[in-house]
Amino acid sequence: MNWTDLQKTAAAVADRPILDLFDAERAESFSVEAGDLLFDYSKTNLDAETRQGLLDMAEAADWTGRRDAMFDGAPINETEGRAVLHTALRNLDARPVTVDGTDVMPEVLGTLGRMEGFAQAVREGDYTGQGGRITDVVNIGIGGSDLGPAMAVQALSPYQDGPRCHFVSNVDGAQIADTLRGLDPETTLVIVASKTFTTIETMTNAATAKAWMGEQVRDPAGQFAALSSALDKTNQWGIDESRVFGFADWVGGRYSVWGPIGLSLMIAVGPEAFRAFLSGGQAMDTHFRSAEPLDNMPLMLALVGIWHNQGCGHATRAVLPYEQRLARLPAYLQQLEMESNGKRVAMDGQELPVDSGPVVWGEPGTNGQHAFYQLIHQGTRVVPCEFMVGAESHEPDLAHQHRLLVANALAQAEALLRGRSLDEARALLEGKFEGEELERQARHRVFPGNRPSTMLVYPQLTPFVLGQIVALYEHRVFVEGALLGLNSFDQWGVELGKELAKALEPVLAGEVSAEDKDASTRRLVDHVRARRD
Ligand SMILES: O=P(O)(O)OC[C@H]1O[C@](O)(CO)[C@@H](O)[C@@H]1O
């Protein structure tokens, strides 16, 4: 099968009722188990033949060869000439991983050990601020240096027994002002998280935090830690080497929560829970490397994604965790998926013959149900939904609420599948309306149904399970990128805006003329300046 065949197949079966595909086996044969996760994709319009076609496409794209090259440290990030080895950060067995002839594992595990030492010192009060024990940690970073730890700290809040963690990412001074207000600089640790240590948002916020701390603390740099691969720059910042945790350039920003960038998470939940998170990721790596294609969860998740986006033409994908603590997961996955696969040029420099990765968005259920599910059920566009839900919560006393939550997740998927026909809608309204009015009213209550969704079920949101889920999605992105022939590990598309913002700042300050700007930008600059000056 090629892209054209895939699209033709999708068009031919678009109106086929998914419900008709269910035979005695489908619920089982269109699902995959990995460890204690279950991924059910039976409520999609995929049949065995098309699935086989997709598997053939994946084989033709040499997904296994590319996967092995990644794990083996080959420079698969070709546009930046780098290996892609975030998996080494969770390689707790220390299986040798070589980059340019050197095993990177001793250094990776050495850094993990140093992080653990520091995290414990903070948690146990051996490392203190000027005012004593650290009560609050402020992680300053953006993109991958923020979303991973921010998402995971919230996800694992039942395990949090360390200091409170706060996350500042936006260059908008409102965020840092709101965060620092109410914190005691004498008992606050600031972590500056930036792979490059040049990102303007992070360095600006870090300077603001340092000034805030300097108003009260004699040695503000003494209450700073740095997470970066630019050790020369952290040095210039005056942060003592004992609180600097480095990582190599083969850890991409959006894949970096497993290493030093996860320090705030480790301080929050402790080294043991952090290791459990790593083990979850490692378990998914082992599964990804060894499971047969049909049993391979990241592969099947990716193929369902390709089917919906490049095959059926559904441009967006909703991620709908029925787990309030995964509220930041959609944002995390937005970066992971859209920064990785939102590219129109393939590795060979040619334009893609099909669409790039989808727009990813979402909110936790049940909140989303009362906001945008209207469109998902009755809008004119089809939005494939990825539901996720835990069998168990962390609130045993509120088991009835959890049952309601799970019932809602399953009900939404069922509603999308079944819909409600005009006859059913009419029957509901009989006696209330009649004739023309009955017809009109009934039409508003029709649900077309036949809308695809998948369900990921996990036992409980533990550190291990979270690690599995995050690694599952990383590998899904990898496989989708491999099929599209993309480099999923660069992000040139973020550069132009950064350059222009740098040039516009002095224009807004009135130091440089706006004359070389387009008319719209010139007018907006004038408008803002007139209202500000
Ligand atoms: O960790 P850094 O170097 O500050 O970069 C932050 C983020 O900026 C990006 O480079 C995009 O601008 C992301 O890929 C990255 O996660």
Q: Please tell me whether residues 296 and 201 are part of one structural domain.
A: no
DSSP alpha helix (H) spans, 188-253: 200-214, 231-236
Contact 487 CB / ligand 1 (< 6 Å): no
Mean of pLDDT values over 2-9: 97
Asked if residue 336 has its Cβ within 6 Å of ligand 1, the reply is no
Domain membership of residue 286 (yes or no) is no
Domain range enclosing 525: 495-532
pLDDT tens readout for residues 41-73? 999 999 999 999 999 999 999 999 999 999 999
Give the distance from CA 253 to its chain's centroid.
12
- Residue 103 and residue 184 share a domain: yes
Catalytic residue among 323, 337, 339, 363: 339
pLDDT for 25 equals 97
Q: Determine the residue of 491, 492, 495 to mutate for testing ligand 1's pocket, defined as the one with the most ligand atoms within 8 A of the Cβ atom.
A: 491
16-49 b/e (C-beta count within 10 Å ≥ 16 → b): eebeebeeeeeeeebbbebbbbbbbbbbbbbbee
Is 393 near ligand 1, meaning CB less than 6 Å away?
no
pLDDT at 533 exceeding the cut of 70: no
pLDDT in tens, 116-142: 999 999 999 999 999 999 999 999 999
Q: What are 440-497's pLDDT values in tens digits?
A: 999 999 999 999 999 999 999 999 999 999 999 999 999 999 999 999 999 999 999 9
State whether the Cα torsion 154-282-257-355 is positive or negative.
Answer: negative
For residue 122, give Cα distances in angstroms to 132, 180, 265, 268: 10, 19, 12, 10
Q: Where does a domain end: 217, 247, 275?
A: 275
Instruction: Determine whether 498 is an active site residue.
Output: yes
Q: Ligand 1 center to residue 193 CA distance, Å?
A: 10
- Report the sign of the C-alpha dihedral through residues 206, 210, 211, 216, in that order: positive
Q: Is 354 helix (H, G, I), strand (E, B) or coil?
A: coil
Same domain, 177 and 209: yes
Do 181 and 136 share a structural domain? yes
Write phi, then psi, for 228 (nearest 5 degrees). Answer: -165, 160
The atom number, within ligand 1, closest to the CA of 498 reads: 12
**Percent of the chain residues topping a pLDDT of 70:** 100
Of 456, 110, 91, nearest to 284 (Cα)?
91
> Residue 76: inside a domain, yes or no?
no
Q: What is the pLDDT of residue 485?
A: 97
CA distance 31 to 294: 9
434: in domain: no
Residues 145 and 189 in one domain: yes
Neighbour order of strands in the sheet with 224-228: 164-168, 136-140, 188-193, 224-228, 244-246
Tell me which of 227-241, 324-338, 391-405 is least confident.
227-241
How do beta strands 37-40 and 98-99 pair? Answer: unpaired
Residue 532 has what pLDDT?
84
- Would the ipTM clear 0.95, i.e. be above it? yes
- Give yes or no: residues 470 and 514 share one domain: no
Could you tell me if 53 and 134 lie in one domain? no
**Which has the closest alpha carbon to 14: 60, 40, 50, 38?**
50
Residue 368 lies in a domain: yes
Residues 104, 38, single domain; the answer is no
- Could you tell me if residue 74 is inside a domain? no
Q: Report which residue type is found at 463.
A: P
Mean pLDDT of 379-407: 98
336's CB contacts (< 8 A; 6+ apart) are 254, 255, 473, 474, 477
Domain count, the chain: 3
**Ligand 1 site, residue 419, Cβ cutoff 6 A:** no
Please indicate whether residue 195 is annotated as part of the active site: no
Q: Which CATH number characterizes residue 335's domain?
A: 3.40.50.10490
Q: Is 63 helix (H, G, I), strand (E, B) or coil?
A: helix
Q: Over 80: is that where the pLDDT of 28 sits?
A: yes
Whether 73 is in a domain gets the answer: no
Specify whether 209 is located in the same domain as 304.
no
Is residue 109 included in any domain, yes or no?
A: yes
Task: State whether 37 and 171 are in the same domain.
Answer: no
Find out whether 365 and 408 touch, Cβ atoms under 8 Å.
Answer: yes
* Residue of 351, 370, 444, 495 with catalytic role: 370
Please write the tens of the pLDDT for every residue from 65-123. 999 999 999 999 999 999 999 999 999 999 999 999 999 999 999 999 999 999 999 99
Per-residue HEC secondary structure of 407-454 comes to HHHHHHHHHHHHCECHHHHHHHHECCECHHHHHHHHHHCCECCCCCEE
In the predicted model, is pLDDT for residue 381 greater than 70? yes
Q: What pLDDT digit, counting tens, does each position of 272-307 carry? A: 999 999 999 999 999 999 999 999 999 999 999 999
Q: Are residues 108 and 142 in the same domain?
A: yes
- Does residue 240 lie within any of the structural domains? yes
Average pLDDT over residues 317-338: 98
- Average pLDDT value for the chain: 97
**Catalytic residue list contains 233:** no
CATH code, domain with 502: 1.10.1390
pLDDT at 321 over 90: yes
Beta strands 385-390 and 453-458 are parallel
Q: Provide the pLDDT for residue 229.
A: 87
Q: Are residues 170 and 227 in the same domain?
A: yes
